Structure 1
Amino acid sequence: MAKIKPQALLLQSKRKKGPNRISVTSIVLFTLIVVLALCFLFSSYKHWSQRSSFQAENQELVVEDENSFMDSKKSDLPGYAIIDTHKGSITVELFKDSSPDVVDEFIDLCQRGRLKGMLFRHIIKHYVIQAGDIDKLGSIEDWTTRGKHYSQLDTSLKHEAFMLGTSKAKHDNQGFDLYITTAPMPDLSEKLIVFGRVIKGEDVVQEIEEVDTDEHYQPKSGIGITNVTLKPKI
C-alpha cells in the first residue's frame, strides 16, 4: 500500500473542512432581487398613498362645492322687501336662514305680482294688522283677548312688535296672508310663521293701525298694498 505524503494529507483535510464559496453571480442575482423587491414595495406604497390623498381631496372638493352651491343659492335670494301701501312704504328684512320655505313662497308671490292690490283685511289696534287673500282671521275674540292681556305685560318678550309673519295654515287653496305685529306676542309661534321684521316704516304700520274699523275689525275704507320691491341689500 502506497503511503500518502503529509502535504497531500494537509491539502485534502483543508478541502473537506473549508466552507463552500458563494459565486459572484449568485451574490449579484440576490442583490438584484432584493433591490427589485424594495423598489416594488416603495412604488406600491407611493401609489396607494397618492390615491388616498386624491380621494380625500375629491371628497373635500365635493363638500366645498355643495356648500358653495347652497350658500350661493341662499345669497341669490333677496334679503329685503319694500312694501308700498296707501299710507307709505314699509321696509322688511327677510329671514332667509330661519324660514327659507316661506321666504321662497313670499318672493315668488312678489315676483308674480300677487301682492299688488292686496287689502288689509283686519286691524286690531296694539296687536296686529293682517293683509292677504284670506278674509278670515280666526277667532276675533281670541285674538283681541290675548292682545289686551299681552299689552299689559313686560315688553321684553320672546316675540317683539313689528314682526312679519304668515299663518301656519296651508296656502294652496286659501291664498296667502301677511301679518305685522304692533305689540309683543309671546304665543306668536302658535299661530304664525315669522319670516321677517320691519326695519323701516314703523310709523307707517302704526298709521295703518289707527284707521277706523267696524265691529269685526275690518277697515271702513279700503287700504292695501300697492307694490312690493325686492332688494338684495338696503
Structure 2
Amino acid sequence: MHSEALVISYFLRSCSLKVSLPPKMLRRTFLSAERRIPFYPINSNNPIVFFDISIGSQPAGRVEMELFKDVVPKTAENFRALCTGEKGVGRSGKPLWFKGSRFHRVIPQFMCQGGDFTAGNGTGGESIYGHKFPDESFAGRAGRHFGPGTLSMANAGPNTNGSQFFICTAPTDWLDGKHVVFGQVTKGYDVIMKVETQGSQSGATRQPITVTDCGEIKQE
C-alpha cells in the first residue's frame, strides 16, 4: 500500500485548537502499548503541579504532573501559573486559572483535552502572556509524545499556544514536531483512566469532567 495512504489525519471538529487523530492503521497498536508512569525520571528542580478532578458530581482523585521547566521553561511556567491562578484576571475578563475548567474533549485510546477556561468548549483559553505564544522547542523531550501520561500543548497550528493542553493515553508519535511536550503525569494516572472511560470517538464526554482544584506542590 502506498505510504501516503497510511498517513490520514482527522481533526477534532467544533474545536479551534486541533489535535490530529491517528492514522487508522495505528489504532490497533494502542491496546498493547506499555504504560510506564512516570516515563522519565523526575527532575527534582522541575515544578510539580496537581489537578483534583471530579466526574459528574463525584470526586475522581488527584493527578500530579512534572513540568519540563529544564527543557521548555516558558511553556512550563505558563501551565504552572495557570494551575496556581497567581496571575489574576486575563484579557478575556476571566481568571487565568484552570480551577473550575473542564476536560471538554476525551477520545479513548488517544487523549484527554482541557484548559479552555474562557469558553469551555475548545474555542477559547488564554496564556499568562496575554497572547498566543510560539512553539518553544521540539528538541529532546519537548518533541517526543512518548505514550500514556504525555502532557502536551493543544494548538490551532504552528506558534498558537494558549492554555489548552492534552494528556495522552496512548502512543501518539505522529504529533511529534507539531505540539510541544512540556510535562508528564507522575502520579494518579488511574484518575486519567477514569476520565478516559467517559469519552467517545467524537470527543464528547458522558458526564462533565471538572478540575475542582489545582495548584503547585512545593518540593522539600
TM-score range, shorter chain: 0.5 to 0.7
2:67 alignment counterpart: 94
Structure 2, gaps ≥5 residues long: 1-42, 55-59, 86-95, 124-143
Give the SS at the match of 1:117.
Answer: coil
The structure-2 alpha-carbon separation of the partners of 1:121 and 1:190, relative to structure 1 and needing over 3 Å to count, comes to farther
Flag the 1:117–1:78 CA change in 2: closer, same or farther, 3 A.
Answer: farther
Aligned to 2:214: 228
Residue of structure 1 equivalent to 2:180? 193
Asked if the contact 1:168/1:193 (under 8 Å) is kept, the reply is: no
Equivalent in the alignment of 2:102: 119
SS at match of 1:224: strand
Partner of 1:81: 49
TM-score normalised per structure 1 = 0.52
Contact residue 89 and residue 201 of structure 1 kept, 8 A: yes
Q: Write 1 or 2 for the structure with the bigger share of helix.
A: 1
TM-aligned CA deviation for residue 78 of structure 1: 5.9
What's the TM-score once normalised by structure 2's chain length?
A: 0.55
Query: Would the aligned equivalents of 2:154 and 2:164 in 1 still touch at CA under 8 Å?
Result: yes
Instruction: Give the length in aligned residue pairs.
Output: 137
Q: Deviations over 1:192-231 (max 9, x none)?
A: 2111101111111011000154x63211321121111202
> 3-state DSSP class of the match of 1:192?
coil
Secondary structure of the 1:106 match is: helix
- Contact 1:78–1:230 (CA<8 Å) still a contact in 2? no
- Which residue identity lines up with residue 80 of structure 2 in the other structure? I
Which amino acid in structure 2 is aligned with residue 131 of structure 1? G
CA RMSD of aligned residues (A): 2.7
Shift of 1:99: 1.2
- Percent identical among aligned pairs is 28
